[in-house]
Chains A and B, each alone.
Chain A
Amino acid sequence: MGGNGVSLTVLKPGLLTTVQDQGRPGYQRHGIVVGGAVDAFAARVANLAVGNDDRAAVLEMALTGPELRAGQDLLVAVCGADFSFKVGGHAASRDRPVAVRRGEVLAFGPARAGARAWLAVAGGIDVPAVLGSRSTYVRARIGGHEGRPLVAGDVLAVGRPGPWATQLWQRLAGGGSRSPAWSIRPETLGRVAGGATVRATRGPEWDHFTPEARQAIFGAEYEVTKDIDRMGMRLTGPALMLKEPREEISAAVNVGVVQVPGSGQPIVLLVGRQSVGGYARIAAAATVDLGKLAQFRPGDRIRFEEIALAHAHELLLARERDFARVRSGLARMGG
């Protein structure tokens, strides 16, 4: 495996394929969004599976994936939704390293379920860092590949893979297989909630909502509307009303925050959210369930389950412990 060459040529861009990493923190006070992979944890796991650093840049695809030709031998891994991933015409597995030979095509189709996936390449997608991140920030036209989603004909460079990835690729190629027997599913690390349930804590304006609203947000089912993008998603269901009208003073918001405009129909913020918002916040999704939020599509049903803040922290610490355990296991195993 090489690196620093012409490593991926975009044959078909897919619906919205962008270079993303763990985001661009540190500039929110300047109005610059954090962004990054909509499921930052899935991107970390995909990176782990190819021996990359957590912060390496990956490709994020949405609803319909891209077709890419490998300009050199590559070790890749895909986490997230099932996009009928194929390499060289043959079905390839998600959630594990896949050895790709120079000239082969990585093909993704429409997502069979879910909405997004992340493709990590050993060595990382090598685009210039802007303000400390390789994430594409489309609105500001910075980061990623020329600050925009990929189009056919784009050529992406890949960084130099580490020794772990190189050894694994050689071992796989030598054994005539594409992937090892092991896999890592980001969805199974930590303690997972079932189905379409998203665990959440009470938001700062909880007390200002009517008892009916407080019951509805943690009891009723909401439907995801077609207003859904990297910034957030609008839901429809029982209206969440304030006890009396209030004018919120704009303040910083975070990913996962469930905010409620005057209509009473909630909006869940995702990574592309603006840095500040001015709506009442009834709840905030637990960090461990942000990956679930990344996979909703229009028409899907969603239900929030209330958990205590300390519980949200325990869940996150448990998942980090699992991640660290897998990481050290892989390191011991060698490439």
Chain B
Amino acid sequence: MIKVENLSKSFGPKRAVDGISFEVGKGEVLGFLGPNGAGKSTTMRMITGFIPPSSGTVSVCGLDVLEHPIEVKRRIGYLPEAAPSYTDMSVLSFLKFAAAMRGLRGEGRRGAIRRVVELCHLESVLGQTIDTLSKGFRHRTCLAQALIHDPEVLILDEPTDGLDPNQKHEVRTLIRRMGESKAIIFSTHILEEVEAACTRAIIIDRGRIVANGTPQELKARSTSGRLEDFFRSITRSDIVAEAAA
């Protein structure tokens, strides 16, 4: 459902993403791993059509992102990094807006809002201004926005960032459950999350894919059998990278 070919992005002289290719099919949950600044968010922004690639192609459900941007955006639910939202709005009016933008009207809209409010546990804060909410609630409000049109493809940039352990567990379970019928990419720093929710993981470092496989395969490639050790053996921390430069 998602096909990325030779995707690259340069910001001036800096190559943020350097020739990445991968595919995600229906029923797959792809974990996107990598150190900070590896190019995870940039890749996701190119898939969602927020920024254009410098070269390479992205297609979603067989549609090229650059040629059919609106059609592609219609099929994707996207949770950007740091989960932005219109903080002056109430949760309900924000979700109403998101639903209207997705072309939902009347009973369809009411049903969609009811569904995501239940999924993301927002019943208690519906009338509250987003400004006044805790980080966990803000995060789930933005997640609810991404799910409102029940998209075929979900792109989630650090969906568990800033959540407490219980909420993290809940979101992971949600991702795994939705993954049965959708194609999902999510990025994370937390390696145990990959084991808990992914069918496959990609590790990227300095804009390139350095590993691609099931969590079990990746673990097996480390001498200690731990994902963390494998991760550390193939990626460089930014401190080391800077010293080398």
* A, B: real partners: no
